[in-house]
């Protein structure tokens, strides 16, 4: 897992062939950005922009982990608590579903505060609970870049 501010995106641009473009898209977002999907390459890399209104804390949250995609979680505005753990340290509660590229697990939750203009990159061994607890009032622009591992 990697976490940083979007102003430092150049440090991660060469980690994967789609990282530079995905991080540039995230950096271009504003609090007025519309929700929707921005395709980099169909089926290989894209950014989903969402707008989250009032939300409650997740009760008994489950970790998710992916096998085929790397996630880059990004907040344009607002802040949240993001849960994470190494997948090897968790108990799998729902086995890997290749069609949805996800498995679910339970265990000890480590927490990190994700603030405006910060991102977290999660790789297949990084189980995570995005938007576990919203810390700010009002609408938040949140985006997730999905990038295929095998590119």
Domains and CATH numbers, the chain: 2-148 (2.60.120.370)
69, pLDDT greater than 90: yes
H-assigned helices in 4-136: 19-28
Neighbours of 54 (CB within 10 A): 9
Q: Residue 59's pLDDT band (boundaries 50, 70, 90)?
A: confident
* Nearest C-alpha neighbor of 131 from the set 65, 30, 58, 47: 58
Tokens representing residue 74 in the block = 């990004």
Distance of alpha carbon 24 from alpha carbon 36, whole angstroms: 16
Q: What local confidence, expressed as pLDDT, does residue 56 receive?
A: 67
Q: Where are the alpha helices (DSSP H) in the chain?
A: 19-28
Q: Is the pLDDT of residue 85 over 90?
A: yes
Mean pLDDT computed over 7-15: 97
Contacts of 59 (CB under 8 A, 6+ apart): none
The model's pTM is: 0.95
Cα pseudo-dihedral 67, 128, 87, 27, rounded to 10: 60
3-state secondary structure of 5: strand
Mean pLDDT, to the nearest integer, of 89-111? Answer: 97
- Is there a contact between 106 and 62 (Cβ–Cβ < 8 Å)? yes
């Amino acid at each position: 897992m990697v976490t940083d501010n979007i102003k430092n995106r150049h440090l991660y641009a060469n980690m994967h062939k789609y990282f530079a473009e995905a991080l540039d898209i995230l950096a271009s977002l504003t609090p007025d950005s519309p929700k929707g999907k921005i395709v980099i390459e169909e089926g290989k890399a894209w950014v989903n922009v969402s707008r989250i209104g009032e939300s409650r804390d997740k009760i008994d949250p489950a970790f998710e982990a992916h096998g085929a995609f790397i996630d880059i979680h990004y907040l344009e505005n607002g802040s949240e608590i993001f849960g994470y753990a190494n997948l090897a340290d968790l108990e799998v509660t729902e086995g890997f579903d290749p069609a949805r590229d996800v498995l679910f697990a339970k265990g000890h939750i480590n927490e990190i505060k994700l603030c405006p203009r910060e991102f977290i990159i999660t790789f297949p061994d990084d189980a995570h609970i995005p938007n576990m607890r919203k810390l700010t009032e009002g609408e938040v622009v949140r985006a997730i870049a999905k990038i295929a591992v095998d590119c």
